[in-house]
Amino acid sequence: MSTVIRDWVGLGRLPGWQRTAAVGLLLVQNAVLVLVMKSHLLPMEVLALAGWFAPQFRLVWRLPVPLTFVPVILFFLIRCRVGASDFTAMGFIGTEVAYELASCCLTVQLLMLFMKQYERRLPIWYLAVSGAGMVMAGDIRVTGAHREAMMWLTAAYLVCWGVFASASREPVTVRRRWRIFRMSAVLVMLSVSLFLGRQLSVIFHRHENQLERVISELIFSNDHSEFRHGFSGTGGLSDVTSMKQDHGEEVALEIEADFRPDYLRGRVFDLFYGNRWHMTGDYRAVVSRTNESNVRPNRPHENLFLLRDPLPEETRTMAVWPFEERTSAHCFSPLGTVAVACDASLLKVDANGIIERYAEDSATSYVVLTSDEVPPDYVVDPKFVQIPFEMDPYVRDLAHAICDDHPTPTGKMEAVADYFQTNFSYDRDVRVPRRADRLAYFLTERMPAHCEYFATATVLLLRIAGVPARYVTGYVVTGKNDVNGRWVARRQDSHAWVEAYDETQKKWITVESTPATGVPKEEPQSRGRELFEAIVSLWHHLNEFFSSGAAWPFLQKATRPLIVISSVLLVFYFVYRRCRRTIIPNWIEARKVVPLARERIRMDRFLASRGLVRTADESLLHFARRVEADKRLTTARQMADWYREYAYLRFGEMQGEDEGTVSIMRNKRVELARQTKVVS
């Protein structure tokens, strides 16, 4: 009985267990996709069970390995590229690409079950494909009951994995005692591993965010990221300048607008201590007020987020493409932004109007709507007039000396800016004694410095004078690429400036106190560099167009006429093949005899006018004999010979004619018609 069952299950004991384990691996991965990713792959389960019995029911085919797997892999790679998916350094868990790769691995495993060359034994690299599929299928956060189910599925996967590996190895002769000992050791190790895995999984879940942060910092510790450039929660007195000096010619932002963007805000800081600026405000989530945005007609899936409700009547539009991956989550925008349109479900906005996208939505461009008709801001947080507790008395005295003669906030702003622009110079190389207060030394010694020093000193002087002020970092955009007509912000265009509150106008005003040589300005670029950057920009836009999913409607519209045209061409092709065998040869042959037949018709008409009519069923040779027997025609014999010659040319072994033959027959016909007379 056992022999019958063994023969029915497979071609031998080991192949049967191996195929069973392979199907088990496939079903576990499918269950993970169904459970965790909420997909529905019931056909995959049915096909997997069919693959289990494929050898018994002869459901196997000899398929070439490269030609079978390569198209499948290419298909899923294209789907990953064209479909809407993105990668970010802080959000590498739970991407759309993981689902596509898992589906690809499942498809490859399924095909192997129906391949004749793997009928007796599946290759050992089946485990590698299966492992990759399991990792990709489980590459997502799970909570609640799903976590417990995921643990059991993982345990089942490991069991199937072990059975497959055991069934794939070559049999060896081992004493029964050692076999039992070895099996017991394996079971103990497996149990310990499962227990430790469960405990580590719980620990990972509790400290997941901290672990991801540590991993990200280790991975990107040598990267010149946003945390060094004043675009994070803190900003030092040299962060922006380090960005200017590090690959300063590289493009950070590209802007399409009808006006010069100028100051684009990336971060606003309010608290200064320890020679660093800090952000103390919290972000609030902004939910889209509209499901679809008409800001960009070619991107109908974008949402419109209103920062001011209702929108002013007159707005200006600016489209921004981020090129810096580490700062792509920031929505750099000018002061006076009233709305943002982008492919996201939520935005984060702080009290200072700084906009940030969530990591999973930060890979694409966005549109900013700005307006000069901003409602008055009547409430100003007291933190914008706070000054460090340990402030050098010289700084206080300097603030009063500069601002006391100017009663209005605008006058004080202009006085402070003029003081720095007149009495100081710009220099990126700042040298401060080791134990000296950097800001106080800068003010007392009038040391050449860069924008962070000027902006920081301006904020503190204005606050001492009673004017609310805040420290801002971002880009000053003045350069333009003449090839594609878009504004360009390079890394060297990063800058620090000040925004101060005007009590009279009830609004914030940009204050620039850095000397003119330190303010980013347009620098002419070579035509070759502009052309290269335009090509890179085009590739960047096309990549976004396809990866964001915006290409699908376009491709659907474009493929419809292609499908119709292809169908018509296919029909024409089959009709042509059909006609080439019968109709076309006959038509070509008919075209060959048309000129000669025309001469025969004319001869028939001539004789009919002379009383000799050829009937419809009368052959040419019979009609020729009848013409020759008619004694009324003086050229009866010549007429009969003409018909015989025509019959030979038309139906003889040398069918067809050339232009010379037709000409000879025509001349004979004309001559006979001229000579023929009817004798009564």
Question: Quick one: pLDDT at residue 9?
Answer: 40
In 3D, which of 153, 117, 119, 152 has the Cα closest to residue 133?
Answer: 153
Count of C-beta atoms within a 10 Å radius of residue 673: 16
- SS3 category, 590: helix
| Residue 274, domain member (yes or no) | no
Residues 303-330: what's their mean pLDDT? 82
In 3D, which of 549, 506, 445, 425 has the Cα closest to residue 79?
Answer: 549
Integer-rounded Cα radius of gyration of the chain: 43
Domain range spanning residue 88?
A: 2-171
* pLDDT 10s digits, 43-55: 566 666 666 666 6
Residue 140 to residue 36: CA distance in whole angstroms: 8
Residue 411 to residue 405: CA distance in whole angstroms: 9
DSSP string for residues in 624-639: HHHHHH-TTBTTHHHH
One domain for residues 156 and 17: yes
| Residue 184, domain member (yes or no) | no
DSSP bridge pairs for 263: 476
In 3D, which of 537, 424, 455 has the Cα closest to residue 488?
Answer: 537
Share of the chain above pLDDT 70, in %: 69
Pick the more confident residue, 522 or 70: 522
342 — pLDDT class (breaks 50, 70, 90): confident
Question: Quick one: pLDDT at residue 630?
Answer: 85
Does pLDDT of 446 surpass 60?
A: yes
> Widest CA span of the chain, in angstroms?
147
One domain for residues 137 and 35: yes
DSSP bridge pairs for 347: 286, 357
| Residue 234, domain member (yes or no) | no
| Residue 680, domain member (yes or no) | no
Owner of token pair 């497959």: 164
Residue 52 to residue 387: CA distance in whole angstroms: 75
Does pLDDT of 84 surpass 50?
A: no
| Residue 349, domain member (yes or no) | no
One domain for residues 501 and 594: no
- Cα–Cα separations (whole angstroms), residue 69 to 107, 137, 313: 9, 20, 58
Which of 171, 205, 230 marks a domain boundary?
171
SS (H, E, C) 613-678: CCCCCCCHHHHHHHHHHCCCECCHHHHHHHHHHHHHHHHCCCCCCCHHHHHHHHHHHHHHHHHCCE
| Amino acid letter, residue 320 | V
One domain for residues 460 and 424: yes
One domain for residues 542 and 649: no
Residue 658 to residue 592: CA distance in whole angstroms: 8
The strand pair at 276-278 and 271-273 is best described as: antiparallel
284 CB-side CA count, 13 A: 10
In 3D, which of 12, 85, 99, 18 has the Cα closest to residue 51?
Answer: 18
Instruction: Decide: residue 398, CB within 10 A, 0-12 exposed, 13-18 middle, 19+ buried.
Output: buried
Which of 171, 187, 212 marks a domain boundary?
171
Q: Decide: 677 and 634 in contact? Cβ < 8 Å.
A: yes
One domain for residues 531 and 387: yes
Peptide bond between residue 310 and the one before it cis (omega within 30 degrees of 0)? yes
Residues 70-88: what's their mean pLDDT? 56
One domain for residues 437 and 556: no
* pLDDT 10s digits, 133-185: 888 776 655 555 667 777 788 888 888 888 888 777 766 555 566 667 777 77
- SS3 category, 153: helix
One domain for residues 407 and 538: yes
40 — pLDDT class (breaks 50, 70, 90): low
Owner of token pair 């396809």: 546
| Residue 311, domain member (yes or no) | no
Owner of token pair 């061409």: 569
Count of C-beta atoms within a 10 Å radius of residue 26: 27
In 3D, which of 26, 42, 18, 28 has the Cα closest to residue 151?
Answer: 28
One domain for residues 6 and 131: yes
**Element holding 338 (H helix, E strand):** strand 337-342
Does pLDDT of 62 surpass 80?
A: no
Q: Which of 50-64, 618-632, 654-668 has the lowest mean pLDDT?
A: 50-64
- Domain total of the chain: 4
DSSP string for residues in 282-347: --EEEE-SBSS--SSTT-TT-EEEESSSSPPSS-EEEEEEE--GGGTTEE-B-TTEEEEEES-SEE
* pLDDT 10s digits, 112-135: 877 777 777 788 888 888 888 888
32 CB-side CA count, 13 A: 31
Taking the CA atoms of residue 371, residue 376, residue 382 and residue 385 in that order, the dihedral angle to the nearest 10 degrees is 70
| Amino acid letter, residue 407 | P
Pick the more confident residue, 573 or 599: 599
Which of 149, 171, 193 marks a domain boundary?
171
- SS3 category, 610: coil
CATH of the domain at 468: 3.10.620.30
One domain for residues 509 and 394: yes
| Residue 285, domain member (yes or no) | no
One domain for residues 528 and 408: yes
Residues 498-521: what's their mean pLDDT? 91
SS3 content of the chain, % helix, strand, coil (to 5): 50, 15, 35
One domain for residues 121 and 158: yes
Residue 511 to residue 238: CA distance in whole angstroms: 20
| Residue 97, domain member (yes or no) | yes
Q: Which of 85-99, 162-176, 265-279, 607-621 has the lowest mean pLDDT?
A: 85-99
Question: Quick one: pLDDT at residue 15?
Answer: 46
Residue 288 to residue 340: CA distance in whole angstroms: 9
